[in-house]
Amino acid sequence: MAVEAKPLETAVPLPHAEEDPREHLMFDPRPREVMNRMVMEAMTTTSRRYWAWVIGLALVVLVCLLGAWGNMILTGMGLAGIRRPVFWGLFIVTFVFWIGISHAGTFVSAILRVFKAEFRRPFTRAAELMTTFALAAGALYPLIHLGRVWVFYWLIPYPNARWLWPNFRSPLVWDFLAITTYLLSSTIYLYLPLVPDLAMARDRTTGWRHALYRLLALGWRGTEAEWHRLRRAITIFAFAIIPVMFSVHTIVSWDFAVGVVAGWHSTIFGPYFIIGAILSGVAAVVSILFVLRSTMLHMDYFIRKEHFDALGKLLLVFSMAWAYFFFNDYLLTWYGGEEAARRILTLHATGPAAWVWYLMLICNVVIPWLTLWNRTIRRTPWAMFIITLLINVGMYAERYTIIPLTLGHQRMPFDWGVYTPRPTEISIVIGTFALFLLLYLLASRLIPLVPVWEVQEGQMAHTLRKVGKAEVPSVTELE
């Protein structure tokens, strides 16, 4: 039988919906002096609204954090709602939340730097700053939770009068070591790439600012040797800080998982916590970027829709990964047949606090999956702001589900109990949120939030190349 070849229909070119590459920061360069001026103006311009926020937040920190904590120190831990059977409440929930948020800086800066993801360039510092302040806020909680904070130094690994050293087999000591390592290294990692920008600020300021930047810039001039050693140090940090980041939240998860507590004793807790931390951290970066873009001068040049788009894609992937780990943990507990653990799962989903569990799933899975696949939504900054805030509400709910809602229903039904946060705890939590925002607000006017040299370096490496009739983006390896 003869085969008749049917000619193809004439191809009709589709209308091109491609965006102009010049919408991307890397293809929209401006002279260095202009970018310097923009960053300096953003840093030195303050409005009445800014100072109103600073004063308001400072008052909240004073009253809600220091006041409530001080009162708890004077009165006793009975002011908090933690009592038998739930001894880990809102303080530990918020501690885990802040440590999770702190993963953002390292993820955005170190991992994306190692993989040479170019879109990272304008907001690495904003993310690194978040890491440092989130750790500062989170590191308060072990002290708050201690009760007798005046003997906090017993946490430090040194021997007592009888030469008895702390027990280095305890996850709580690991916590101390991991958080100290991460706080120090992430602060240095924030500072190192900042030095050239501090030198730039030094050259453009007078008075106290000039004195401050001159001190912090360490006499930076930008010689070949200085650049060489700075890059070497940043490379060492970028590679070394990634496993440290992973270790911190893994160790936080071991605080739970090494105990033979139903619902906690899981081998998957390490990666499950890590993925949750990255999800909440990247979501927090998007929220912060929206605020910076909306409130600071010239930030709309540096932080563009493309950045929300790229981070939105990452969030979608991490939301899926989080759901995968959650389901793994859920299924194996359900399938394992341990009655106490299964009962906890049932209580999470049907008990009096089931709304927290559903809130977690809606915010961490339903909302991101329904919205972030859509490019238009990903490129709408205010929509991304709302979605990312909700993701963090979901992640807070996750920690609340894991900690007090699980602890309250262990193996002995006669020992069950419901945890209700007390006003002192809620006040302290609000206080640390205010502290984080206050520190960020102050830092935004003290250090250049955009790493200008990194942006310029990226812009120099990116060009548009004519291929046929199209102009296509091209990246050159300058290193």
Q: Pick the closest to residue 265 from 407, 399, 420 (CA basis).
A: 407
Find the binding residues for another protein in span 197-236 (CB under 8 A).
199-200, 202-204, 206, 210, 214, 218-233, 236
Q: How far is the CB of 164 from another protein (least distance, A)?
A: 5
User: What residue type is 265 in one-letter code?
Assistant: H
* For another protein, the closer CB: 68 or 200: 200
Q: How far is the CB of 140 from another protein (least distance, A)?
A: 21
Burial string for 260-283 (b: 16+ CB within 10 Å, else e) reads ebbbbebeebbbbbbbbbbbbbbb
Q: How far is the CB of 188 from another protein (least distance, A)?
A: 5
Give the Cα-Cα-Cα angle 167, 173, 179 (nearest 5 degrees). Answer: 165
* For another protein, the closer CB: 87 or 227: 227
Question: Which residues does 353 contact at the CB level (< 8 Å), separation at least 6?
Answer: 401, 405, 418
Q: How far is the CB of 138 from another protein (least distance, A)?
A: 17
Q: How far is the CB of 206 from another protein (least distance, A)?
A: 7
Q: How far is the CB of 120 from another protein (least distance, A)?
A: 16
Using CA of residue 42, residue 44, residue 49, residue 52, what is the dihedral sign? Answer: positive
The C-alpha atoms of residue 26 and residue 473 are separated, in whole angstroms, by: 10
Q: How far is the CB of 205 from another protein (least distance, A)?
A: 9
28 contributes a contact to another protein by CB under 8 A: no
Q: Pick the closest to residue 360 from 259, 266, 246, 279 (CA basis).
A: 279
Place of tokens 């709302």: 386
The C-alpha atoms of residue 305 and residue 161 are separated, in whole angstroms, by: 59
* For another protein, the closer CB: 46 or 170: 170
> How many residues in the shown chain lie near another protein by CB under 8 A?
61
Neighbours of 123 (CB within 10 A): 28
Q: How far is the CB of 211 from another protein (least distance, A)?
A: 11
User: What residue type is 187 in one-letter code?
Assistant: T
Select the span of 53-61, 277-285, 434-442, 454-462 touching another protein (CB under 8 A). Answer: 454-462
Q: Pick the closest to residue 251 from 79, 393, 75, 96 (CA basis).
A: 96
* Cis ω before 157 (30° cut-off from 0): no
User: What residue type is 380 in one-letter code?
Assistant: T
1 contributes a contact to another protein by CB under 8 A: no
- By CB under 8 A, name the one of 456, 463, 464, 471 that touches another protein: 456
**Pair 274, 243: CB distance under 8 Å:** no
* For another protein, the closer CB: 200 or 405: 200
Burial string for 398-434 (b: 16+ CB within 10 Å, else e) reads bbbbbbbbbbbbbeeeeeeeebebbebbebbbbbbbb
Q: How far is the CB of 111 from another protein (least distance, A)?
A: 16
Select the span of 25-33, 145-153, 270-278, 294-302 touching another protein (CB under 8 A). Answer: 25-33
463 contributes a contact to another protein by CB under 8 A: no
Find the binding residues for another protein in span 229-288 (CB under 8 A).
229-233, 236-237, 240-241, 243-244, 247, 251
The C-alpha atoms of residue 106 and residue 128 are separated, in whole angstroms, by: 7
* For another protein, the closer CB: 173 or 430: 173
* For another protein, the closer CB: 52 or 236: 236
Find the binding residues for another protein in span 105-164 (CB under 8 A).
157, 159, 162-164
Q: Which residues would be at the binding site for another protein (CB under 8 A)?
A: 31-33, 36, 157, 159, 162-165, 168-169, 173-174, 177-178, 180-181, 184-185, 188, 192, 196, 199-200, 202-204, 206, 210, 214, 218-233, 236-237, 240-241, 243-244, 247, 251, 453, 456-457, 460, 478-479
